[in-house]
């Protein structure tokens, strides 16, 4: 029900501004807030509602109607005190769904304790993703949970030319091929009858250690 409700984004640094612009591009109404007039002025022609205000002032947040929003994002990264205080004020205003950017795991734990429902560690997550791509044979890597990932890779030689249902891939490796892309073709769902070829690209889901082990065999 809250999927396309308006969102308030506080902190218009690189992360916050990119998030606000992408939400607006997708048709979500965004209220963007930052305490730096120059930043706000630079975004005024790109976002419909972008305002200069001090988000650590609960009265200022009330005046802007922030307490009427269902979802808010605290995208402040450089000023930990402001990030923590803003998040606590949103919790005090009883915002139902609070997202917050953290710069360290300690920062993350504090934000969780004071009321943030979702924590994003963009620098850490991106570094971890790139490390997987640089060190292995993955074409892409997305960690979807603490110990579960979706990777894009090439099929190992041992499962090429055989229907997936006969490869015993799940029992041998503990992973599942969920989609396949043949040369000059779009991605399509993989089935037990799918026969992989050299040059195909596959999406594989499973525990992180197991998808890594499969990718190392390509």
**Who wins on pLDDT, 1 or 79?**
79
**Dist. CA 116–CA 95, nearest whole Å:** 10
Q: Is the pLDDT of residue 28 over 70?
A: yes
The percent of residues in the chain predicted with pLDDT above 90, rounded, is 78
Global pTM exceeds 0.85:
no
SS3 184: coil
Tokens of residue 152, six digits:
């894009």
Look at residue 1 in the predicted model and tell me its pLDDT.
41
pLDDT, tens only, 140-165: 998 888 789 999 999 999 999 999 99
Residue 56 in contact with residue 82, Cβ under 8 Å? yes
């Amino acid at each position: 029900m809250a999927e396309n409700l308006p969102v308030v984004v506080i902190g218009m640094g690189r992360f916050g501004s990119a998030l606000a612009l992408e939400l607006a591009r997708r048709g979500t109404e965004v209220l963007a807030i930052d305490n730096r007039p120059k930043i706000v002025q630079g975004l005024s022609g790109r976002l419909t509602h972008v305002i200069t205000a001090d988000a650590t002032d609960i009265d200022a947040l009330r005046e802007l109607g922030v307490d009427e929003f269902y979802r808010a994002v605290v995208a402040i990264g450089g000023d930990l005190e402001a990030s923590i205080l803003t998040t606590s004020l949103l919790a005090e205003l009883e915002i139902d769904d609070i997202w917050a950017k953290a710069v360290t795991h300690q920062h993350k734990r504090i934000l969780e304790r004071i009321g943030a429902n979702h924590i994003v560690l963009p620098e850490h997550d991106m570094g971890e993703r790139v490390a997987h791509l640089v060190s292995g044979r993955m074409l892409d890597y997305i960690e979807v949970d603490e110990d579960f990932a979706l990777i894009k890779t090439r099929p190992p030689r041992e499962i090429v030319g055989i229907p997936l249902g006969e490869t015993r891939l799940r029992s041998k490796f503990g992973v599942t091929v969920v989609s396949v892309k043949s040369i000059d073709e779009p991605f399509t769902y993989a089935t037990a009858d799918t026969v992989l070829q050299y040059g195909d690209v596959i999406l594989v889901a499973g525990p992180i250690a197991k998808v890594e082990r499969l990718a190392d065999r390509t």
